[in-house]
Structure 1
Amino acid sequence: DTPTPSRTLTLSITDGDGGTLQAGGATFAQLTDAANPFEDVAVPFFPGPSFFDADGDGVADLVVGDNTGVIRVFRYDGLGTAATELIGAANPFNGIDVGDVAAPSFFDIDGDGDLDLLAGTYGGRIVAYQNNGVGSFTELGFMQNPFNGVQVANTASIAFVDLDEDGDQDAVIGSQNGATIALRNDGPGNPWVELTGTDNPFSAIGGFDVRWAFVDLDGDGDLDGVQGSSGFIGAYQNNGAGNPFTLMSGADNPFQGVNLGGSLISPAAVDLDGDGDLDVVFTRGDGEVFTFLNNPRGAPITISVTPENEAPTSTGFDDVTFLEGQPYVLLDTGFDQVLTDTDSSDFDGGSLTIQVTGNAAAAEDAFGLLTGGTSFLAISGNSVSYGGVIFATFDDAADGDPGESLAFNFNADASIQAVQTLMRNLVYANVNQVDPSTAPRTVEYILTDGDGGTLTLNSTIDLVGVNDAPSGTDATITATEDTPLVLTAADFGFTDVDGNSLDAVRITTVPGTGALYYDI
């Protein structure tokens, strides 16, 4: 056989309480009412969500911009606990006003190891605030802001994902008119480079009031796009560096059928339940917050299959009878042997050896090959051709002469059809035309496929002898006058190759003188 070299095994496991370890792509479960830790969060219109550890407890908190340009923080203390707002000095963004319709995000823009604040604005700009490491942020001027000069249509938002697979995060900026721009990160201190035309993997994606977050939706290890828009949640597959993101539709979109209503749907990705995968929190234009937990998935198991060579198979040779004196007998009497090899189309490097292994008569047993006619086989020197193409050779030490095996060595032109035809036209002959050994011969056929597979077949040849006529020799006998001469069987030179004894002698001519008597 030729098995598929590898395959991926995925398992879905459900426990007795209904918990599921999901195989394949991501699925999400919405937390509603009290199960949603942000159920009671109240923010003004057009919030933009993000997550940042604002209180230093090691847990990311919900950071929301609103339509007034203010950045508000809601401390997250885990599932089952309602988030509470940090106000006044407890809010590290207290006093910051980025302008109307703020959409915050966090990224280490200066390479100092902590997260700085980036915020999209209604005017289509990205403003930047440096994290001072002491719970405060300082706005960066035009010269220090790496996104100075970036301008999109109204309601800009920014998210980060590695687009070129170089290990750092690139920037993705959505806008009100649906266009998404992408900027390549070339490291701290270097300008961000806009990807244009087909280099921008989002160039063919539209929408309205587009905002992005990135989560592995298809289980392939890279982050796919979750797009918020006006009343729409889109899912876009990451197809690798240099390739466009493509729409995931139908069952491939884990948010298929989810309708949050309203407008300005904004996503943010964060691990809320500590299971190692990213959950998604959405805000709606009217201030509502929706939470979707990413159901745990089992890691796919890749099974690599090492192909094992299968030996060729054959319907075999016939048990045949050889009659003394006939020129040869076909070993496949019906020319109907069927040869197969499931994992190779040729016998390149293989061989076929035919030999007597039981009751061999070294001076008698011989093998050969019928050629010509409809077999399309021909022999020239030590080469065998099929349809004019040489596919096998043999040497003088194993050419089927009496007492020798017959062995063929195959090359790359030894197709299954060619080798099958050769096997159908093998013959046995006994060169002793007078008194051959009639012990039945056991013939062994060893076929190798050149890839490590061996097929061994056997057949029996019954030899039938023929009664041969006896022979005698002329003789001159001297007789003495007047003395009787007694003739014996030995005087006639009788021999019989079959070993039979003398049965009778007929004398047809007698001398002209003397008398012949039969002594009884």
Structure 2
Amino acid sequence: MKSLFPRALAFVVLVLLALPALADLTPAHAARRLKHNQPDLVVDLGVGLWAIPLPMDFDGDGDLDLLVSCADVPARGLHYFENEGSGVFKPAVVLDSEKRPNVTISYVDGKPRVCEPGVLYEDFTTALYGKPAPIAFKPDFHIGRANQWRAGDYDGDGVTDLILGISDWREYGWDDAYDAQGRWTAGPLHGFVYLVRNSGTNDAPVYGEAVKIEADGKPIDVFGCPSPNLVDWDGDGDLDLVCGSFLDTITLFENTGTRTAPVYAAGKALTLADGAPLRMELQMLQVAALDWDSDGDPDLVVGKEDGRVAWVENLGGGAVAAPVYFKQRAEFVKCGALAAPAVYDWDNDGDEDILCGNTAGFIEFIENLGGDPVRWAAPVRLTAGGGVIRFQAGPNLSIQGPAEAKWGYTTLSVGDWDGDGLPDIVCNSIIGRVVWFRNVGAPGKPELAPAEPLRVAWEGETPKPAWLWWTPEPGELVTQWRTTPVMLDWNRDGLQDLVML
């Protein structure tokens, strides 16, 4: 049979079952986070998987700091980034190490209110989570992944009500619901917003029944993760509603009623000055509305799944600026979320660098700058064929459905695949289609050509996982999504083989 490789390769895909003896690790051998070892380096401010921003003047010096909660390891906890006044934040100080996936911030009479489901934390800037005050309300409806409790005076009567952002995944299910044309046959994610009126006082609240807030005569329903904010977005004196989502859009529900009798218009996605829709780079948006730049109107501070936090400026007239990512003085090396690193001397300078995939679908280069301890440069996104490499599932290329549209889950291996003496990259992603990037540069000056399918001389039809609705092209390698391809000379014949699940 004629090989489909550019050089007549025999190709074998092997399944390896290897379990490292993690149970034998002692604390002395436990993983330690890699540091940049460059105190003057500036990088994107970030924590671990899923950033929940709680902006406030935490130290009382008159400017806004960033507290960012993260629920997942290794960065689980509450991270305090102090505002130095230069536009660059100090490295984080971890104030709390608990998992708090539904902590929220609201602003009542200009003061921050930090809540979790059923709890208000009093005097947060001094006591953190040390003074919990129970909220005397118990929901009687289904609660999904998002259970976001916020405080606000909904109807202008002077007492603080509750606004709840609740997700519902029951109709969506989870996976394997595409038909033969790639259409999702299950339902969408739901994200409802509930009002719980306080008929008592602020000192002795009496909470009524939760009711879904409506817009244009229908219950507000964003695509999961509502992250609701009561805020006078358009400056007309009443409170509008701004919501995030599980994907990449932020929606404004304008109050066309009054301060004391709100009536919400149909939701409109926020747009940039040129009229294009605001699209955040990643998803799982956590939104806090406040006047970040002290110009008299509310802006948005938005956390995303990759742990970074962005400022979205309110330009007035219904427009917002493109997101600006906050910066910090570098401490730990970070490459998005669920980083998938490979080690290789990419720039041919005699030391080992890091190339890394992540949930967002990028491949990033982290240069080893030498020294003792080793200094690491800020991550740089690799390009191929003149454009930034990014894999995304889109509406129908993740087995887990359209809720994963912005994810890519790049995993990779580096080596000389075509035998020309230059390191190439073989890559898998959320899609499961294995591709490679040919290095067409020179030693020490890598340049990648656009992705090419990794060709296999299959006997018969091109195999594919049973759950795929789409059919691979002849000779393609399509396998389990998010598994890592490993390039090595398995049979010691001088040619690169590929080992993967």
- Return the TM-score normalized by structure 1: 0.41
User: Structure with the greater relative contact order (CA < 8 A, sep ≥ 6): 1 or 2?
Assistant: 2
Over alpha carbons, which structure has the higher Rg? 1
- Return the TM-score normalized by structure 2: 0.42
